[in-house]
Amino acid sequence: MRKKLIAGNWKMNGTVASVRELTKALSQHSHEYNHLEMVVFPSFVFLPQVIADLKSSPISVGAQTLSEYAQGAYTGEVEGSMLKDVGCSMVLVGHSERRTLFHESSDTVAKKFMCAQGAGLRPVLCVGETLVEREAGSMPSVVLGQLDAVIHLAGIDSFMNAVIAYEPVWAIGTGRTATPEQAQEVHALIRRHLAKLNPTVAAKCQILYGGSVKPDNAVHLFAKPDIDGALIGGASLKAVDFLGICGGAVSV
């Protein structure tokens, strides 16, 4: 029913040459994973290049963030309709690095989510708790609070055309992955929360896991019923690892 979605968040990495090499390697093998959805999120400056280089592959392209404002005098910002215009189909919103390092509040994230959908982009809403929050027992309130901020502004039906990524902050870039059981518990919590408001949305919405996903742990995560794919940082910068994770998603 729900297609697996494998997403690569390239963060602030790459050069024209290294990005070209990566997209070339990905596009050569991506046809082997036709029944998955695949997407990569390069830096803004590489978007036109990556979109052109992946044109004949099944891999979609998205941006890592977008402005909460409509076109105008906002130096340094990029609007959703610009991303759509150059050929993006998705966009990350509320990644923990944006929330923490760039002080994006849940209200700002909700506005960005709305802007993304308004521009015809499918948002990937990232949610997740810190280690301190988990150890204090507040994981459910943090994760569902981040989700509710968007539901309140955009409405539950907006999740018919959105993706959620559960990324525990303590697992991002640390090599420390949530166990498949820990991840499944949170994914089920999120899905039950959606189901209370709209069971159809809950059944359709893809919920990805993110945080130190690698080819060797991906299969165990994907075997869980509510884990519909992965949002991959570090391992998405190596074609062999990204494709290895795609292979894992095909095998379950």
Active site residues: 95, 167
Determine the interface stretch with ligand PGA among 64-72, 77-85, 131-139, 229-237 (rule: CB under 6 A): 229-237
Nearer to ligand PGA, 150 or 231 (CB): 231
Q: Does 172 bind ligand PGA (CB under 6 A)?
A: yes
Give the span between the Cα atoms of 5 and 232, in whole angstroms: 11
Residues from 148 through 167 that contact ligand PGA (CB under 6 A)? 167
Nearer to ligand PGA, 173 or 199 (CB): 173
Residues 6+ apart with CB under 8 A from 159: 151, 194, 198, 201, 205
Give the span between the Cα atoms of 101 and 31, in whole angstroms: 37
Q: Which of 42, 80, 123, 234 binds ligand PGA (CB under 6 A)?
A: 234
Residues 6+ apart with CB under 8 A from 181: 224
Residues from 188 through 217 that contact ligand PGA (CB under 6 A)? 210-213
Q: Does 237 bind ligand PGA (CB under 6 A)?
A: no
Q: Map residue 47 onto helix, strand or coil.
A: helix
Token pair listed for 46 = 């590489």
Q: Are 51 and 83 in contact (CB under 8 A)?
A: no
Give the span between the Cα atoms of 209 and 181, in whole angstroms: 12
Q: Does 9 bind ligand PGA (CB under 6 A)?
A: yes
Smallest distance, ligand PGA to C-beta of residue 122, A: 17
Give the binding site for ligand PGA (CB under 6 A).
Answer: 9, 167, 172-173, 210-213, 231-235
